[in-house]
Amino acid sequence: MNQIAINMYLPEDVLLEINSLHIEGKTLEDKLKLNLSIGLFVSKDISLGKAAQLAGKSLSEFINILNHLNIPAIDYTEEMYEDDIKFIQPRN
C-alpha cells in the first residue's frame, strides 16, 4: 500500500489529552491511526479489514481492541438473528 505523509496542526491541549488516554500505541502517530481507523470503522466508512490495516494491526488484534472498547466488530442485525433461528430449528 502506497503511503503519503501529511502535516497536521492540533491544539496542544488536544495532543495532551490524546497522550493521557489509555490508547494502545507507542507513538502519537500510532494512537492517531488507531483512533482514526476505529472512527472510520464505526461510521461504516471502511471495512473491518481496512480499519485493521490502517491501524497497523492484524485482524484479530483489531477485533480484540474493539471488544475491549465494547464496540461490536460485526453488526448482527435482527434479520440475521431471525435467519439463524430459522436455520437451526428442526425440520420435519
Taking the mean position of all CA atoms in its chain, how far away is CA 90? Answer: 37
Q: Tell me how many domains the chain contains.
A: 1
Domain residue limits at 68: 12-88
Domain contains 35:
yes
- pTM, rounded to two decimals: 0.75
Domain contains 1:
no
Domain contains 31:
yes
* 1 touches 53 (CB < 8 A): yes
- Per-residue pLDDT of 14-51, as tens digits, reads 888 887 777 778 888 898 999 999 999 999 999 999 99
Domain contains 3:
no
Distance from C-alpha of 47 to C-alpha of 41, rounded to nearest angstrom? 6
